[in-house]
Structure 1
């Protein structure tokens, strides 16, 4: 660290040497910085908006649209997911969250109904085959 002392105050009478109090004050200013004001320092607060993650469930909706689409729930969920992504791009996080929540609910129902239909499509033929045997 470079500790250099610069004289901030010059004596009033240039012909006379500085007094002890003046040297002490100059040293304190050089070491401690500027004198403290009784008024509180002004501060600036900058709010940095963090990138709030709002999941739009587009991939899940696309999967449900292509593979498990009972009652077109997967397609409707995909439409809400796209709306959620559009709202997120515009900066409307509240609207994006609302559309994403609807898309998530529709995706859950599409997945449950799709799995149940798949199980029934496997179990019913097996039961019919077992009954005719």
Structure 2
């Protein structure tokens, strides 16, 4: 379309407002939700960390499954089921994190108890001395 052949209406000129144009009727209000509650959390990052680190008895993997379910239900608008899945993911994450902290802690405690026992036992093996490791290995030789 050529600019020279186009005719503007008599009450409108380019780059100005038209007198006959429809004027806005006021403001528009959009209600984003009536309850005021925030949507449930899905704990996805926490579940991924628990899945990748130790993952005793697959508790982190179960938390990951429920986290993904919670996120899916939240996107579909089913907030009640999303809240239930979110609660399950939270508790599986708590259990997985507890186990992930408990296992290394138990290993350190057992190592300390072993060293204390070897230091106070009959014959008093000097574990950190010159012949300590050889004496320790003699305990396990036939």
For residues 128 and 93 of structure 1, what CA distance do their matches in structure 2 show?
52
TM-superposed deviation, 1:129: 2.3
TM-superposed deviation, 1:68: 3.9
Query: Any gaps of 5 or more consecutive residues in structure 2?
Result: 1-28, 120-142
User: Is residue 87–residue 96 contact of structure 1 (8 Å, CA) maintained in 2?
Assistant: yes
**1:28-58 CA-partner distances (Å, limit 9, x unpaired):** xxxxxxxxxxxxxxxxx97431683311000
**1:56-87 CA-partner distances (Å, limit 9, x unpaired):** 00011111111141111011101100111111
Match of 1:90 in 2: 76
TM-superposed deviation, 1:130: 2.4
For normalisation by structure 2, the TM-score amounts to 0.57
User: Is residue 39–residue 74 contact of structure 2 (8 Å, CA) maintained in 1?
Assistant: no
Higher relative contact order (CA 8 A, sep 6+): 1
Match of 1:48 in 2: 32
Alignment partner for residue 88 of structure 2, among 93, 102, 108? 102
Which structure is larger by alpha-carbon Rg, 1 or 2? 1
User: Is residue 39–residue 79 contact of structure 2 (8 Å, CA) maintained in 1?
Assistant: no
Specify whether residues 51 and 90 from structure 1 end up closer, same or farther in structure 2 by C-alpha distance, changes over 3 A only: farther
Structure with the largest fraction of helix: 1
For normalisation by structure 1, the TM-score amounts to 0.60
TM-superposed deviation, 1:95: 0.9
When the two structures are aligned, how many residues end up with a matched partner?
89
Residue 71, structure 1, aligned to residue 57, structure 2: yes
